[in-house]
Chain A
């Protein structure tokens, strides 16, 4: 079963708006990562947040992690049409941190 579940499944916004995606997971984790996938292509790593961190920034990306609620959010500010892609959260479970477990993804469409 999936460790992470993203919400919403699909998001459509206007260029310049902010996009927020949420991820919930089930077990204790070492870290949580966000990836981006353009249609039919490989996933690209965006950002990693460790279990002892609460917030992290990278360019227009902001990630938060709430381990008590087992949830994370990815905020993309000032979105661009080129941000159109699917976004996945991935967790490295504490009991088996050899594997990365991916959520079902959020499909983001940024309209020009």
Chain B
């Protein structure tokens, strides 16, 4: 158990809908990362937060947004969903600001858009 909790584990929704994925980082970790893993794109970095502030952005679509709350949990919001958004979405956390330490991954949310 990595200590990172993601909910829900599975999500099936229709095109055009909006969903929210939730992540509770490992206790004491200030950084949260979001990744998307699909068969054709591999593991893509979306966004990183550190102690509530956005610190790095990857290939995150404008339809996607994220935030980190004062209690350090994070949410990834996906809107106007398309079939191609179907993927595994991972949250990871680490202890320090810079990418030196290891990242601890949650088990992911499997999103299926139908």
Query: Which of A's residues lie within 8 Å of B, judged by CB?
Result: 2, 30-31, 33, 35, 40-45, 48, 50, 88, 90, 92, 96-105
Contact of A100 among B4, B42, B99 (CB under 8 A): B99
Pick from A42, A98, A103: contact of B99, CB under 8 Å: A98
Report if B43 contacts A (CB, 8 A). Answer: yes
Q: Tell me the interface secondary structure of chain B in the complex.
A: strand
- Report the bound CA distance from A45 to B106 in whole Å: 12
11 interchain pairs, CB-CB under 8 A: A30-B98, A31-B99, A42-B2, A42-B4, A42-B90, A96-B56, A98-B48, A98-B99, A99-B48, A99-B99, A100-B92
A-B pairs under 8 A by CB, number: 75
- Contact, CB under 8 Å: B35 / A102: yes
The distance in angstroms between the C-alpha atoms of A32 and B99, with both chains bound, is 10
B residues sitting closer than 8 Å to A (CB atoms) are: 2, 4, 31, 33, 35, 42-43, 45, 48, 50, 55-56, 58, 88, 90, 92, 97-108, 110
Contact B2 A44 (CB under 8 A): yes
A87 to chain B, nearest CB (A): 12
User: Which chain B residue shows the least CB distance to A43?
Assistant: B105
CB contact between A98 and one of B35, B98, B107 (< 8 Å): that residue: B98
Q: Which one of A31, A99, A104 has the highest number of Cβ atoms from chain B below 10 Å of its Cβ?
A: A99
Question: By the criterion CB–CB under 8 Å, are A45 and B102 in contact?
Answer: yes
A99-B99, A100-B33 known; A42 vs B48 contact (CB < 8 Å)? no
